[in-house]
Amino acid sequence: MDALKRPPAEQYNKMTIENIKIRKAVETDFQSVDFLYQQNYKLYSKNISNDYKNPPIPTLPKGTFLNITEDKNALLLVAEIDEKVVGILYAIIEKDDGDDWTHPYNRVSVEEMSVSKDFSRQGVGTMLIENTQNWAKKKGINNLIVLVHAFNKNAINFYLKNDFRDYSIKMVKKIQEKTH
């Protein structure tokens, strides 16, 4: 499309969101996936600077990325619109055999997800979750789980809207100022 004749961004998004494709990541997606990972690191380093370092933002090592794409117990999805990656979701299968006190479990943990700001609130994240659910169901897994930072109200709203419910609450108490 001629750049000068492009419709405004909002209209463009609405027009093309129908062309969305959710698929597993492949090697050539590395840069796009890394870019969206960095979007999340920026958010974390801004809001939880005790845990996450300031920029320069660490990049996802390519070896790690490739291992994930080949791991049968992991899922790295990309959402693509007009050949542009606009969202990612990385999930792993968590298993436990149980013991005298607890039942065994088998669940899918959403480790990271990110949607490009230009395409937020248009259903991309929801489609990534739905595809993850289908992948989990095919493996006979009944639950998805995610750990969300308390500051991240947008993400909490997103997961609530996608039928996730509170499971446990991790609390912290600062007992001394940082010494390093």
Ligand X SMILES: CC(C)(COP(=O)(O)OP(=O)(O)OC[C@H]1O[C@@H](n2cnc3c(N)ncnc32)[C@H](O)[C@@H]1OP(=O)(O)O)[C@@H](O)C(=O)NCCC(=O)NCCS
Contact positions vs ligand X (CB under 6 A) = 40, 43, 113-115, 120-126, 146, 148, 152, 154-155, 157-158, 161
Distance CA 158, CA 85 (A): 20
Based on CB atoms, which residue is closest to ligand X, 25 or 113?
113
The answer to whether the Cα torsion of 34, 115, 92, 157 is positive or negative is positive
Distance CA 135, CA 143 (A): 11
Based on CB atoms, which residue is closest to ligand X, 81 or 115?
115
Burial of residue 75 (number of CB atoms within 10 Å: 0-12, 13-18, 19+): buried
Based on CB atoms, which residue is closest to ligand X, 108 or 113?
113
Rounded least distance, CB 127 to ligand X, Å = 7
Rounded least distance, CB 83 to ligand X, Å = 19
Rounded least distance, CB 59 to ligand X, Å = 17
